[in-house]
Amino acid sequence: MSEAARLAAVLDAMPYARRLGVGGHFEDGVLVAVLPFSPDLIGNPRLPALHGGAVGAFLELAAQMRLRFDREGLAAPATIGVTVEYLRPGRARETYARAEIKRLGRRIANLHVEAWQDQNRTPIALLQGRFLLPD
């Protein structure tokens, strides 16, 4: 199965990702999650800025996508805990995220996720997460 077909299967198995319209592509062999802009995601209409909950959910979805894709399984890893750092407002535009597996054990995985909009060297938010892997 091709990478694109595997990614499509992973996204299809994630109802909340489908609801948000999350997609993905590969840059230099690395999976990049994409959150398209929607007015429903605005939390502060005066800026306008993305709602922090939407950004945090997207970061967690990017981690889940990476684990499911790399492990070639569609079963959902359970979130043990995440820490999100909001570095700057997410503006009303497309948002990207890249998840890096820091440690992959038999039962637990530790991931680091960065989200950005215009340039990947200026992240808008970071996530450190621990996930319980399915059997």
Q: Which fold has domain 3-132?
A: Thiol Ester Dehydrase; Chain A (3.10.129)
Q: What is the pLDDT of residues 72-101, one digit of tens each?
A: 877 899 999 999 999 999 999 999 999 999
What percentage of residues in the chain have a pLDDT greater than 90?
Answer: 89
Q: How high does pLDDT run on average in the chain?
A: 95
Distance CA 30, CA 7 (A): 12
pLDDT at 1: 79
Angle (deg, nearest 10), helices 3-12 and 52-71: 130
pLDDT at 121: 95
- Average of per-residue pLDDT across 4-17: 93
User: pTM here?
Assistant: 0.94
Domain edges within the chain:
3-132
